[in-house]
A and B are shown apart, each in its own frame.
Chain A
């Protein structure tokens, strides 16, 4: 594991919320890939065993936070807003995400994240996020 991923997974390990998400980060040729490791507590609809929409949103928010941490060196951010579009139902299985920083300003950062399950070509949800940057 690279030093970058090791540091990010160390940040994740310090967060109970990330442990609830069973969050992890790995990498491939295109960049960092975040993983929501499925747990029963992630279910929103037991009848059709779909992931809870809020859990999906929290996962994409966390992915963007970690991406921001990776690029800025800060470990903690105040989220201002999360706007999420649900594109298809999320099954009771692992989910993956990539996050992209659109702009990192002195006071505010803007990012987006996209999540998928079976295929990256069939996204489950996308999110647009803004964060308040910590005082330097």
Chain B
């Protein structure tokens, strides 16, 4: 399995919508105080300690129970070939796995470690380097410690780039996100 911790990096200024600190208000309206503390702690931690998510400039746009929308900027590092305009499709799987996994946290009553069991990604169109995209994920249900999640990556104007469907194991061994946030353990 692929254990995760999820990440929120600081919001960038160049994405329309809930930029700046506005996303914190969105989170506060949707999450419990414990979840809010966790997400704030994770955001601070990964802003300094997570090179991969730093490359993608993840910016939470909407958060509610079991649902998450993240804006990301497609880094030059993932260009498919020198001289090509498009990113490698694997970047879409990296984004889907990250956002879909984090949506599981928002669906849980008690925060626990989560690991990807499997993930299917369908690539419809490859976006271009430096493009801003939106990734939405919905944790449909959690049953018998398995979370069932769907996700999409779209352009800012709504064109579908990729869709994902995956399952995630809840309550795996290893450090929980609570230890990242310094909250309840």
Contacts and interface: CB of A to CB of B under 8 A. Distances in A.
Nearest to B79: A16
Contacts of A53: 2, 4, 97, 101, 116, 119
Interface residues of A, number: 42
B123 A81 contact: yes
Contact of B90 (A19, A62, A80): A62
Given A44-B5, A52-B97, A53-B97, A15 B88 contact: yes
B54 to A, nearest CB: 9
A15 B83 CA distance: 9
Interface in A72-128: 76, 78-90, 125
B136 to A, nearest CB: 16
B98 A54 contact: yes
Contact of A57 (B4, B5, B115, B121): B121
Most interface-central of B3, B45, B77, B118 (chain A CB within 10 A): B3
Main secondary structure of the interface of A (DSSP, over half): mixed
B156 interface: no
B122 interface: yes
B79 A17 contact: yes
Interface in B72-94: 76-82, 87-91, 93-94
A47 B90 contact: no
Contacts of A86: 1-2, 115-118
Counting contact residues on chain B (CB < 8 A from A), the size range is: 35 or more
A43 B1 contact: no
A46 to B, nearest CB: 5
Nearest to B92: A54
Interface of B: 1-5, 45-46, 49-52, 55, 76-82, 87-91, 93-98, 101, 115-123, 126, 174-175, 179-180
21 contacts: A15-B79, A15-B80, A15-B82, A17-B79, A17-B91, A41-B77, A42-B52, A44-B98, A45-B5, A46-B45, A48-B174, A50-B3, A53-B116, A55-B52, A57-B90, A57-B93, A58-B94, A82-B93, A82-B119, A85-B117, A86-B118
